[in-house]
Structure 1
């Protein structure tokens, strides 16, 4: 017999589904209705909607999916990085694709004090560390900068696929990722992570 998840998990699941489909400004009542919990549970577990959104983003973390895709590609760092773009091609061509939930939340939440901003930054920083490590293993001369380049490509794919999915931006970005893997010293005047020195 399957045990029904508790109110905390149901709230997270409802927020995960509804905010991806409708954005982070989806109403609290809709979340409570889908989760089938009382308003009191929202405040008891998360202190309010802001806390729920932040925790939903923290526990959703797609970073684990990047690790899975790369590990399935084997040990070659180059193939591991390119596998990410192959996976993005699959994801961005699905009818259910609605973009990157982290970028969407960052743009929608205009209050700089919203707790979700720190979660989003931590997620993006985690991806940067992941790609930096892969590029370092690949012998890239500037792995920090190369990781920044890869993240620009990934963010571009996730945004462009919303407006021009038939253009298959993941395939275009994969070809550009090949260039990143094959070269990559930062332009003159740029230091670590592309910051001006």
Structure 2
């Protein structure tokens, strides 16, 4: 069964599109290479020409997911600074929680499936989390908070909890709570 992935012509992109859909909806470990190649409409040889292993595809999937987040945050930072930027980032996260088919954070989901912190997938996740922390730190500093490090750490934890809560609870309530908590953290 193919769902749009074969409409794109480049096999690597079809594999990434298929991985995005299957890994997010079914879980990384639950999806085998055979299912990936079948649904992407490529051969095993094509798969291994583009990715050294399934873990190589997982790494590329997370890299692409991270790039989309970084691009969205860059758009926000081009338009806003300080407090407004932080609240816009929190709104972006909140909007994500409310989209149809939301199943939590792809990075947190992947981390749960790869317990070894030295595995390349976990290293990719750690890099993304460090980037997000650094963005929050800069935004909170620009907002004039006297302790941007403490607030940035708290905001990362808040975001993680919102991602889980958005999947398990009422996403609209979590979205509102996320924004309110971020506003409260900005008050020294």
TM score, norm. by length of structure 1:
0.83
Residue number in structure 2 paired with 1:148: 153
In structure 2, relative to structure 1, the CA distance for the partners of 1:112 and 1:180 (3 Å cut) is: closer
Residue number among 61, 69, 88 corresponding to 2:93 in the alignment:
88
Residue number in structure 2 paired with 1:122: 127
How far the C-alpha of 1:68 sits from its partner, in A, is 2.4
Q: Does the 8 A contact of 2:104 with 2:163 survive in 1?
A: yes
Partners of 1:49 and 1:76 in 2: how far apart?
40
Partners of 2:160 and 2:126 in 1: how far apart?
14
Q: Deviations over 1:7-35 (max 9, x none)?
A: 21211111111111111111222211121
Higher helix residue share: 2
Q: Does the 8 A contact of 1:70 with 1:81 survive in 2?
A: no
2:23 matches 1:16: no
Partners of 2:171 and 2:123 in 1: how far apart?
34
Unaligned runs of 5+ in 2: 1-6
Q: Give the alignment of 1:162-181 within 5 angstroms.
A: 162-165=167-170, 168-181=173-186
Number of residue pairs the alignment of both structures matches: 179
Q: Give the alignment of 1:131-146 within 5 angstroms.
A: 131-146=136-151
2:13 matches 1:33: no
Structure of higher CA gyration radius: 1
How far the C-alpha of 1:179 sits from its partner, in A, is 1.6
In structure 2, relative to structure 1, the CA distance for the partners of 1:36 and 1:103 (3 Å cut) is: same
In structure 2, relative to structure 1, the CA distance for the partners of 1:69 and 1:34 (3 Å cut) is: farther
Residue number in structure 1 paired with 2:72: 65
Unaligned runs of 5+ in 1: 184-197
Partners of 1:133 and 1:158 in 2: how far apart?
22
Secondary structure of 1:168's match? helix
In structure 2, relative to structure 1, the CA distance for the partners of 1:29 and 1:132 (3 Å cut) is: same
Secondary structure of 1:95's match? coil
